[in-house]
Amino acid sequence: MQERRLNDMHTPLPKFAPTPRTKVAYVINQYPKVSHSFIRREIQALEEHDIAISRYAIRGWVDKTLVDPADREEQSRTIYILQQPILKLAVALLSAVVQNPRSFLAATGRAFSAMRRSKGRRLVHLAYLVEAAVIADWALKAGVEHIHAHFGTNSAEVAMLAHELTGLPYSFTVHGPEEFDRPVELGLPEKVKAASFVCAISSYGRSQLWRWLPYREWSKIKLVHCGLDAQFLAIAPTPATSKNRLVCIGRLCEQKGQLLLVDAVGRLASEGSDVEVVLAGDGEMRADIEKRIAKLNLADRISITGWIDSDRIIREIKQARALVLPSFAEGIPVVLMEAMALERPVISTYVAGIPELVKDRVSGWLTPAGDVNALTEAIKECLEASDDVLAMMGGNARQAALKDHNIATECEKLANLFQSSARRTRATID
């Protein structure tokens, strides 16, 4: 069945070259993106493992928030579906219908199934079918042997539909929290069932997938952490240049909890504590946060940088006594790994996979999410800690980050999964 679909979809189908280099298509909703540097690192590390990556994104070619040169370079290497002329999209869809009507009907059935589950824009799933037809055409022409998506949302649906159209195996990485907020509406069980394997970035994330799967499919879920590349890990940690400065790095949005951080700083300031916070990032809640800062007269204590590049992120972390991220929902924030690799303790919450990385009062402080009192006390304890205590916690933090979040080690796992899938694809074609 798979062999027929592969041959019918694109005529003539180029034979896969007898080479050990595995060809993988990455499907991402928006790429590159300021908050998704971990995907760029993963792709680059895979290419060092002799995996050839084709970058396919739905949108992102005009993203003006990109400040990192590495992201702008990735932008030039990515092919964008919605940048294509409408006629080209129509031709790809028609080709999918003509070349293999049976596979197209199967993919259409999956799209309609997603429409029935949807509580919002139902017709968008037909758009995903068109996008999948375009990716199917590109992937087969490029000799792709496996399709991989990041996030279990729309990009995973497009990858699944492309799999249905071509017979090429696919997989996806689940990060959370969005996938865990509405697993049924997103059709996570169906996506996992159709996939060759699925990656979870934390043990917590894996457990949330297991909740929605029959036990016989649990083995499909592979634990592959996000990681830090060798260039980042090679940076020599240095003592903080400030005794009272904290940094919070991330998108300015509800789930990151920055408003609680502002309130905590307000309480500490009223007690006479000399504390300063840098909010490094931007987002939809910036205006609300600025209003809160002004209301509490904290403009001399809290500053907002907007989006900054990797070099600036490293400088901000090095200058800070600790990194604070009072999130309400997460996967495992990469910025925690970055701070810990630079021997900075972190202040965060008992949310999702964070406790797998951060140990309370060993490598940082963990507080209940949404508890401004506990957050205030943790910051106060951090500011009052001796240099020896901070150095010990920073050393523990670095060891934890290097142990489980080295991008080379984690991408070796992923490369092995892709190569195994590619060998099965080649055997089917041959």
When pLDDT is cut at 50, 70 and 90, the band that residue 20 belongs to is low
Give yes or no for residue 3 having a pLDDT over 80.
Answer: no
122: pLDDT confidence band, cut at 50, 70 and 90? Answer: confident
Q: Which residue has the tokens 């919605």?
A: 82
Average pLDDT, the chain: 92
Tell me how far the alpha carbon of residue 251 is from its chain's centroid.
13
Residue 380 has what pLDDT? 97
Instruction: Give the CA distances from residue 45 to residues 157, 248, 304, in Å, rounded to whole numbers and listed in that order.
Output: 25, 27, 32
Give residue 429's pLDDT.
66
pLDDT of residue 18: 44
Least confident of 48-52, 140-144, 237-241, 335-339: 237-241
User: Which pLDDT belongs to residue 119?
Assistant: 85
Could you tell me the two tokens for 361?
């009062």
Q: What is the mean pLDDT of residues 349-362?
A: 97
| Span 252-299, pLDDT tens digits | 999 999 999 999 999 999 999 999 999 999 999 999 999 999 999 999
Q: Where is 279: in which H helix or E strand?
A: strand 276-280
CA distance 58 to 70: 19
- Which amino acid type is present at position 210? W
Which band of pLDDT confidence, cut at 50, 70 and 90, is reported for residue 15?
Answer: very low
CA distance 39 to 31: 9
Domains of the chain with CATH codes: 2-227+407-429 (3.40.50.2000), 231-404 (3.40.50.2000)
Least confident range of 16-30, 50-64, 282-296, 349-363: 16-30
Taking Cα atoms as reference points, which of 104, 107, 43 lies closest to residue 70? 43
Reply yes or no on whether the pLDDT at 2 is more than 60.
Answer: no
**pLDDT for 8:** 44
pLDDT computed for residue 154 by the predictor:
96
